[in-house]
Structure 1
Amino acid sequence: MARRFAALTTAHVADACVRAGVTVRCAPSALRAVTPGSRVAGRVLPARHVGSVDVFLEAYETARPDDVLVVDNGGRLDEACVGDLAVLEAQAAGVAGVVIWGLHRDTADIRAIGLPVFSTGALPTGPLSLRERPADALTSATVGDWTVSAADLVFADDDGVLFAPADRADELLTLAETIRDTERRQAERIRAGHTLRAQVGFDAYLAKRRETPTLTFRDHLRAVGGAIEE
């Protein structure tokens, strides 16, 4: 799965979700790579942070190769919950990357480690208090509007972070590859002087729409086999 995603983007996977009728679960746009150009894909390894690093260490005990630690710190902006030691230990445990619904610190050291880390930003201070640990601290994590678990995959790159059901992985990646290949062919033809408008018969669409005002561009694209949306 990680190998196939290496030749894709989160945009391809998001479009595949739309085409397959799977809910598109994007993390809030503030969640970005600590090191631009980072990318990761893997099974969600959830951890709800309550003020202590031990929840991460316990998650690493059950980590499978290429899992991605997904840290839920409630999107807090008053404390960082992941630092260089937690990231270095993730790397030692075989974890493929870290996604944080919250802040990180030790930016320079994290970049030097080289493990893909995504967060909403950086702050010097670590956890400010120790809070009560919920029963589901290691079974689910909430990121923005979405609650995810080991039944989900996470994909992340420069466009952001996306979650998808693990049991639909092959279908979604196959669709994403088809979308990528179609877009590449269209891009190559644009560079060769054949505009996208010509490729999709845009003038014909405008003519048909004058006759049938309810005709949508997506309906037209489906008819001509030139889908660039959905």
Structure 2
Amino acid sequence: MLKDFAELSTPLIADACVRLGEPLRAAPAGIAPVVPGQRLAGRVLPARHYGSVDVFLEAFGAAEPGDVLVVDNAGRRDEACVGDLAVLEAETAGVAGLVVWGLHRDTPDLVEIGLPVFSYGRHAPGPVRVDAREPEALHTARCGEHLVSAVDVVFGDDDGVLFVAADRVDAVLETAHGIHRTEREQARRIRAGETLRAQTRFEEFLAQREADPSYTFRTHLRRIGGAIEE
């Protein structure tokens, strides 16, 4: 999955979802890689955190190579729920990375380990509570307003994290590659001296909008084969 994502980005995945009418499921803004430039893509391995690492260890027992542990810590900012030992164990289990709806710690160790970890940021204190475990602890995880599970695939890079239903991933990736090719060609032409306004026939759009106020730039781009807004 990471290989298929190699030439793409989460913005392109998001645009492909919009074009295909797929649900746009983004992790909350601010979740970013511990090490800039880290990327991940893989099946969701869900785990809800209740104050103890045991739920992660149990999740790793069911992990398949390339899975991405998605940790639901309810977005808490008062504790870090993932540190070096959990990440080392994830690596040993063949997990491709972690997405944490919450905070991490042991940052220098995570940098050294090198496994992609995405979170809101770093925080020294770990959990000082142990809450009752929900029945869905290893079946689903929340990440912001979204509920994800093993039927989903997660993509992450410097722009954030997105979730796509596994049975729609091939179509989304194919569309994202098409948008990418269009945008790279547009960028090449701008560098060669042809403005984006000229490429998108912007004067023509303005005239059409004057005649028909319901005519949007997105409609115009679709008509002429542009892709910059999706």
Tell me whether 1:122 sits opposite 2:119 in the alignment.
no
Structure 1 residue 226: Cα displacement:
1.7
Q: Counterpart of 1:131 in 2: which secondary structure? A: coil
1:41-190 alignment to 2 at 5 Å?
Answer: 41-190=41-190
- Counterpart of 1:191? 191
Letter in 1 for 2:187: A
Comparing 220-229 with 71-80, greater Cα deviation is found at: 220-229
For structure 2, list consecutive stretches of 5 or more residues without a partner in the other structure.
none
1:197-208 alignment to 2 at 5 Å?
Answer: 197-208=197-208
For structure 1, list consecutive stretches of 5 or more residues without a partner in the other structure.
none
- Distance in 1 (alpha carbons) for counterparts of 2:2 and 2:104: 24
Structure 1 residue 162: Cα displacement:
0.5
- Counterpart of 2:221? 221
- Distance in 2 (alpha carbons) for counterparts of 1:213 and 1:49: 51
Structure 1 residue 128: Cα displacement:
1.0
Q: Counterpart of 2:110 in 1: which secondary structure? A: helix
- Distance in 2 (alpha carbons) for counterparts of 1:189 and 1:156: 29
Letter in 2 for 1:14: A
Q: Counterpart of 1:153 in 2: which secondary structure? A: strand
**Can you list the C-alpha shifts for 1:39-84, whole angstroms capped at 9, x where unaligned?**
0000000000011111101111010010000000111111111000
- Distance in 2 (alpha carbons) for counterparts of 1:20 and 1:202: 25
Q: Counterpart of 2:161 in 1: which secondary structure? A: strand
- Distance in 2 (alpha carbons) for counterparts of 1:227 and 1:69: 33
Structure 1 residue 15: Cα displacement:
0.4
Q: Counterpart of 1:62 in 2: which secondary structure? A: coil
Q: Counterpart of 1:45 in 2: which secondary structure? A: strand
The two structures have a TM-score, normalised by structure 1, of 0.98
Letter in 1 for 2:126: G
Structure 1 residue 227: Cα displacement:
2.7
- Distance in 1 (alpha carbons) for counterparts of 2:73 and 2:211: 54
- The count of aligned residue pairs is 230
- Distance in 2 (alpha carbons) for counterparts of 1:208 and 1:79: 55
Letter in 1 for 2:137: A
- Distance in 2 (alpha carbons) for counterparts of 1:188 and 1:122: 39
**Identity of aligned pairs, percent?**
62
Q: Counterpart of 1:207 in 2: which secondary structure? A: helix
- Distance in 2 (alpha carbons) for counterparts of 1:226 and 1:161: 25
- Counterpart of 1:212? 212
Structure 1 residue 13: Cα displacement:
0.4
The two structures have a TM-score, normalised by structure 2, of 0.98
Greater than 2 Å deviation, 4+ residue runs = none
Structure 1 residue 109: Cα displacement:
0.3
- Distance in 1 (alpha carbons) for counterparts of 2:110 and 2:222: 46
Letter in 1 for 2:45: L
Structure 1 residue 200: Cα displacement:
0.9
